Structure 1
Amino acid sequence: MKQAEFSDSVVEVKFGAWCLNIKRQIISDGTVEKELEPLLYKILSYLILNQNMIITRENLIEDVWCQTYVDDNAINRAISELRKILKSPQQSELVVKTHYRKGYSFVPSVEFIGSEYQNLPIDNLNKPDVIKKAKPVINKTRLRAFLLLLLVSILLISFIWPVKNREVKTTYKDYQEEVLSMKDGTHSFLVLSPNEKNLAFIVSKNEGLESYLINKDLITGREKVLFKIGYELTPVGWSYNNSDIIYRQNSGKKDCQVFIIDSNFIGEAKHLFDCNNLPFFGEGVNNTNFVYSKLGYRNRDELAVLMNRNLITGEEYQISSPNLNSYGDKFLAHIEDKNKVVFERHQFGFSELYIADTEGGAQTHLYTTKNRIWSLNYDQKSNSLLWYDNVDNILYQYSLVSQKLLQKVSMQGVSGYSTTLPLSPSEMLATQYPYTRHIYQLSLDALNLENIAPENINTFNAQNTNNGYIYYLLNDAQIKRLAVLDTATGTVSIKSNIIDFSIMKVSSDGEELLALKNNVIDIRDTAELSLKDTITVDGNIVNVEYLNNKNIGYILRGDTATSNTAYLYDRATKKSMLLPISNPVWFEQLSTSKFIFLSAQNKLQIFDSWNNLITHEFELNSVLYKHSFALNDNKLFHSDGSNIYLYDLNLGFKANAELIYTLKVGLITQLSYAKELGTLAFTTITINNNKLVKAIEVPK
């Protein structure tokens, strides 16, 4: 690692026409004074301190951004911005030189000014002091004392280390709910103002076709309402000074715009920029800049990246670098007094909590969890982060001082929640869980839709089979169960009262199922759930499918930008074979040598393994919720969350997508096709009315 910070003895640095003030982080040419943003100051300091070297992009990523990967565009923008600031009528010579395919170097000569106004040679700053001394005589008493101190230190470390890393036990506390809003409709999208005095949220009706943006004063209870006919409104975030609300409005697939308006909804809203149809969040980090999650990164609809946008000029730059084999980065909170942003990196199968400065530097991983972190709040009093896991119903508190969990609280006596905002360890704003899951069966001949799931159960992952049975998972009091529905009689039987997997695939004949658990695939029969085989892999599994002859295809999530890998597990040899498919997120087998897969760039592609080339490519419509696929007998069904399309590949690989059904109510989460029955089974989510509440800890 190269030197990145000035010595404490340096107060100013002179180079060319400029003088850099270390403490104030400004540059002056005697006429003009310019303040440097923290990231630009850090880059300039780094170049100065390593002026006799060519600084590579890898050096900048490691020593300035302090990350493992930074997008090239982010580096280019930062260097370009630094060059703009260093331009001056008095400074005509080049300051930062680009070395083609190598990196950058600092050109002007440098003079360091010390705290007592003496000139400090640069060699003294870049090299440790070397002082020759006589060889000391070893003092045995001191040696024994040193060894004793070393032994005590080792014992302390052996005690403190397990204490620090010990799993925090869950405590149980009673809470009661106070209703803050019970308007007719669905309450959602809670966004707290930076001073925590106001709450922006929406109430939607008629399946989201009618939505009201509400600003609620949490002290007085007064509310201001914004409504636009024909538009769906959702809050994105607040301005830095708490006076404005930034919101998103859309009226169709391609009509999505972001506006800013006075928080009292007085006057005209100002258009900021266009967006896509998926919701996102952000917050003003100063009087001009806004940090938010931008979807569509690298042409992937569901992949988000953190951006820092100047709301006056419209210029923005990337401040995070998610790997392409993930869902990207979701903005969670801005910590004003630390100039930090907190965000979730949503990986396949788990989530990671990160903190970074508002320019993207000093990115630090804090915590990893198996469930999503949908929202989070900073508690200034305890200098900790608070979030609620609405799967396990646990309130987490994470200390930024010790960088570890402080407590996990199981909140007793509360409703199921969809969105939450903890105000403190004892108070939390929340909306009651409004979603209901259903299983539908669609007859492809008559296009008749039938709701076949029992009412009032939380069902998911429905699997259609040719023998007339539909297997599905259900959540019952936080316990996952495996059930099977006989479509002929409508009867349901529970195959297992408790299971330890959330993703499964059932073979088309209904005789087997694949149970996915992190890096393990269990192959079980459906009659007794007895274990037939186990596939253990080195990595996290993104997707698993039955292929031809009941062989198994699976995808491993990679750690770099293009490293998802696909494998075919041969049941006869019990060996896995790597397939030369580039960065897939889903794939299936069409024939012995042909595969169809969804790339990370949201393109369907036909891959010929015999000739090792992609023969055909299909453009997909923009996703409305998530992409789902089902393939059987060369008929590929695709859903974007609302519509179901058919690619009949029996007609050739140039077949166009045929729209066969549009769901009027709810969102499609997953598809399954039974060829012999001519039916599609799919799971949906529908939205019901709910309430906005405050959960308050009951004093003992």
Structure 2
Amino acid sequence: MPFLALDADTISWHKGSYSHLLLPPDKSKLAYLLTPLKQNDIMNIYVMDLKTKKEFLVDSGDAYIQGWSDDGLRLFYVKCKPGDYSQCQQWQASDFFSETIKKSPLSYPYSSGDKLTQYTEVGDTAIFRRNHYRGLSQLFALYAYDKKTAEEIRITSPNITGTGDYLLTTLSNPERIIFERHNTGQAEIYMANLDGSSMKLLTTNNYRSWAATYDEPSNSLIWYNRANSTIESFSFDSMTRAHAIKAPVKDANYAYPLNKESLLISTDLHDLDASVFDLKTQEMSYIATANKHENSAVALANGDVYFADTYYDKREHWLKTNNQYIPISDRVGTDNIIVSANENSTRLLSFNKHTHQLSLLDATDFKTIKQWQIPGRIVLAKIRKNRIAVIYADATTLQNQLMLLNTDNTETVISTIDTPLAIAWRNDHQLIVHAKHTQFLELDSQTNRYHELPMPDKLTAIKPSIVTMASNEQTLFIATSADIYSAALEELMEVNTLIKMKPSNYILHLNAQNEKLAISFVTANNQNSIELYTEKRPCN
């Protein structure tokens, strides 16, 4: 793989959090939000001239950036009354480098009940992103609005197994939109006309790009893979994916390739954290440390906690015991990921992210007891007594599949459940499955038969937002990104709110062992900066 050595230059640093970086198609300017420290209710919208590196304050308040016009002359944003998101107005700003920035309200009818998180204008057509597609609050589709006729049409139809469509950039001559579609386990990049016609799949990734630009010299779409530190591209000449370029930079929140030799990033403002909730005392204890990124937490016996220190492709393993942090990477292996423990914390499940090998480990010395080869990328796995349930993304179709294993023999069973998303054991043989198309299912691991479970309205209502599930011997735990709910496993009829996470904490994973609930989550809005990376030049 070609390797690009880069030099970094910090082009903006204030005491606060940079977010929502956005380049216009011509890449001459950069818009971004800056939230000052200790002023979380104030968002400052800036535009920077990337030639001079001068910054211009556009507006402040409860505001967020929506997009650029296709010519890069106007910036669109929404501003709301402080603390009242039912009172919002869309604005456009221009003449950024003059003495007075010109600002005016948009005439497009903004509906405060929806989230118009993206908006651009290409000639007389407005393209925007709105949620509530198919009645799901987390599912976004793209729409077009003809400014001359005031006609609005939906131009994309995403699947319900993700968050939908996200506008990456626009092309001119001819006019096109490029967008990313998020599905379970993958992200697809499409090109289409402004009315959604002639839609063409360009490429598929197992990660989100979130940002892409058009590179005119190579006539290609370029984006950055933050997990592998590579500049990726798709050639419009050959209509094929080009070779990746290794280009290491700091861990990034937003990453835009300006071309194939330079990158513009905001340094990462996220941190991975973990905590343990005691179900008896209702107390939360945090295992976070200043220099670690805690993930995949598992509450073990005697108050010990396992966690991984994870940051992109870097991983170390730790055991927290008696307020001491003991490194165990040499025993677990840096390529392995521990995902769950059995009901009495004597056995652990881990998998190798490269070989897709699932391992059963002894929780005392972390030695391997048994291994299985899984035919795809493992999403999650749960163990109960001698039964293991594994959700994996099939290597060929990339669709989620559910596999059942038995630790006492070589039995392997593939369920016919369509696209399982989360699982939790109900008892020693029955598994609760949150699947794509249906309500919750109960799968018998002995017969491989399943049926739909009757569920209370509250659980049905949060189903589209469920991130993960877990269970101990008495209780099912269901997590959205911000809340954890509980229901008695025996009847599953009364659903209670157990935990509300702190603002800026977003749940990733749960593990339940006995009376402990281990919660892995991401914390956002830490202090960061904007950096420009350019190719190293030899010294004269």
Q: TM-score, normalised by structure 1?
A: 0.65
Q: Check conservation: 1:580, 1:612, Cα contact below 8 A.
A: no
Q: Deviations for 1:108-156, whole angstroms, at most 9, x for unmatched residues? A: xxxxxxxxxxxxxxxxxxxxxxxxxxxxxxxxxxxxxxxxxxxxxxxxx
Q: Check conservation: 1:587, 1:596, Cα contact below 8 A.
A: yes
Report the AA paired with residue 319 of structure 1: I
Between the aligned partners of 2:412 and 2:382, the Cα distance in structure 1 is 14
Q: Is 1:636 the equivalent of 2:476? A: yes
Report the AA paired with residue 435 of structure 1: H
Q: Is 1:195 the equivalent of 2:26? A: yes
1:666 alignment partner in structure 2: 505
1:690 to 479, 504, 528: 528
Q: 1:590 to 1:314 in 2, by over 3 A?
A: farther
247-256 vs 365-374, greater mean Cα deviation: 247-256
2:324 alignment partner in structure 1: 490
1:224 alignment partner in structure 2: 57
Q: Is 1:389 the equivalent of 2:222? A: no
Q: 1:359 to 1:499 in 2, by over 3 A?
A: farther
Report the AA paired with residue 57 of structure 2: K
Give ranges in structure 1 of 5+ residues lacking alignment. 1-168
2:93 alignment partner in structure 1: 262
- The residue correspondences of 1:284-299 to structure 2 (distance < 5 A) are 284-290=121-127, 292-299=128-135
Q: Deviations for 1:148-181, whole angstroms, at most 9, x for unmatched residues? A: xxxxxxxxxxxxxxxxxxxxx13132323141x2
- The residue correspondences of 1:329-478 to structure 2 (distance < 5 A) are 329-411=165-247, 414-475=249-310, 478=313
Between the aligned partners of 2:218 and 2:514, the Cα distance in structure 1 is 58
Q: 1:372 to 1:641 in 2, by over 3 A?
A: same
1:148 alignment partner in structure 2: none
1:654 to 490, 493, 500: 493
Which structure dedicates a bigger proportion of its chain to helix?
Answer: 1
- CA drift at 1:419: 0.5
Q: Check conservation: 1:645, 1:658, Cα contact below 8 A.
A: yes
- CA drift at 1:203: 0.8
Q: Deviations for 1:21-48, whole angstroms, at most 9, x for unmatched residues? A: xxxxxxxxxxxxxxxxxxxxxxxxxxxx
Between the aligned partners of 1:269 and 1:283, the Cα distance in structure 2 is 12
- Choose 1 or 2 for highest CA Rg: 1
Secondary structure of 1:619's counterpart equals helix
Give ranges in structure 2 of 5+ residues lacking alignment. 95-100
Which structure dedicates a bigger proportion of its chain to strand?
Answer: 2
Q: 1:303 to 1:268 in 2, by over 3 A?
A: closer
2:68 to 235, 238, 254: 238
Q: 1:276 to 1:536 in 2, by over 3 A?
A: farther
Report the AA paired with residue 694 of structure 1: L
Between the aligned partners of 1:661 and 1:556, the Cα distance in structure 2 is 29
Q: Check conservation: 2:485, 2:499, Cα contact below 8 A.
A: yes
Q: Check conservation: 2:142, 2:156, Cα contact below 8 A.
A: yes
- CA drift at 1:217: 3.4
Between the aligned partners of 2:442 and 2:85, the Cα distance in structure 1 is 31
Q: Which has the higher contact order (CA 8 A, sep 6+)?
A: 2
1:186 alignment partner in structure 2: 17
Report the AA paired with residue 515 of structure 1: F
Between the aligned partners of 1:589 and 1:477, the Cα distance in structure 2 is 30
- CA drift at 1:371: 3.3
Q: Check conservation: 2:116, 2:130, Cα contact below 8 A.
A: no
Between the aligned partners of 2:443 and 2:465, the Cα distance in structure 1 is 30
Between the aligned partners of 1:522 and 1:629, the Cα distance in structure 2 is 20
Q: Deviations for 1:240-285, whole angstroms, at most 9, x for unmatched residues? A: 3444333355777985967242334623355643477878445323
Between the aligned partners of 2:204 and 2:482, the Cα distance in structure 1 is 32
Q: Check conservation: 2:307, 2:318, Cα contact below 8 A.
A: yes
Q: Check conservation: 1:553, 1:568, Cα contact below 8 A.
A: yes
Q: Is 1:536 the equivalent of 2:374? A: yes
Q: 1:686 to 1:636 in 2, by over 3 A?
A: same
Report the AA paired with residue 615 of structure 1: P
- The residue correspondences of 1:513-524 to structure 2 (distance < 5 A) are 513-515=349-351, 517=353, 520-524=356-360
1:307 alignment partner in structure 2: 143
Q: 1:421 to 1:439 in 2, by over 3 A?
A: same
Secondary structure of 2:247's counterpart equals strand
Q: 1:611 to 1:627 in 2, by over 3 A?
A: closer
- CA drift at 1:347: 4.0
Secondary structure of 1:190's counterpart equals strand
Q: Check conservation: 2:25, 2:169, Cα contact below 8 A.
A: no
Secondary structure of 2:173's counterpart equals helix
Q: 1:293 to 1:593 in 2, by over 3 A?
A: farther
Between the aligned partners of 2:219 and 2:292, the Cα distance in structure 1 is 40
Between the aligned partners of 1:276 and 1:234, the Cα distance in structure 2 is 16
Aligned pair count reads 519
- CA drift at 1:482: 2.9
Between the aligned partners of 2:443 and 2:229, the Cα distance in structure 1 is 47
Q: Check conservation: 1:649, 1:655, Cα contact below 8 A.
A: no
Between the aligned partners of 1:296 and 1:516, the Cα distance in structure 2 is 37
- CA drift at 1:465: 2.8
Secondary structure of 2:3's counterpart equals strand
Q: 1:254 to 1:203 in 2, by over 3 A?
A: closer
Cα RMSD (Å)? 3.7
Q: Check conservation: 2:425, 2:470, Cα contact below 8 A.
A: no
Between the aligned partners of 1:513 and 1:582, the Cα distance in structure 2 is 24
Secondary structure of 2:5's counterpart equals strand
- CA drift at 1:380: 1.6
Between the aligned partners of 1:481 and 1:276, the Cα distance in structure 2 is 44
Report the AA paired with residue 26 of structure 2: N
2:98 alignment partner in structure 1: none
1:215 to 36, 47, 60: 47
Q: 1:288 to 1:684 in 2, by over 3 A?
A: closer
Report the AA paired with residue 492 of structure 1: I
Q: 1:174 to 1:238 in 2, by over 3 A?
A: closer
Report the AA paired with residue 688 of structure 1: N
Report the AA paired with residue 646 of structure 1: S
Secondary structure of 1:471's counterpart equals strand
Q: Deviations for 1:406-435, whole angstroms, at most 9, x for unmatched residues? A: 5533335x4322102222223332211122
Q: Is 1:645 the equivalent of 2:485? A: yes
Give identity over the alignment, percent.
19
Q: 1:254 to 1:270 in 2, by over 3 A?
A: same
Report the AA paired with residue 30 of structure 2: L
Q: Deviations for 1:319-366, whole angstroms, at most 9, x for unmatched residues? A: 344444444332211111232222223344443333333333333333
Q: Check conservation: 2:262, 2:533, Cα contact below 8 A.
A: yes
Q: Check conservation: 1:333, 1:376, Cα contact below 8 A.
A: yes
- The residue correspondences of 1:84-163 to structure 2 (distance < 5 A) are none
Between the aligned partners of 2:44 and 2:465, the Cα distance in structure 1 is 21
Between the aligned partners of 1:511 and 1:633, the Cα distance in structure 2 is 16
Q: Deviations for 1:577-604, whole angstroms, at most 9, x for unmatched residues? A: 4556565311223136754333436x86
333-342 vs 308-317, greater mean Cα deviation: 308-317
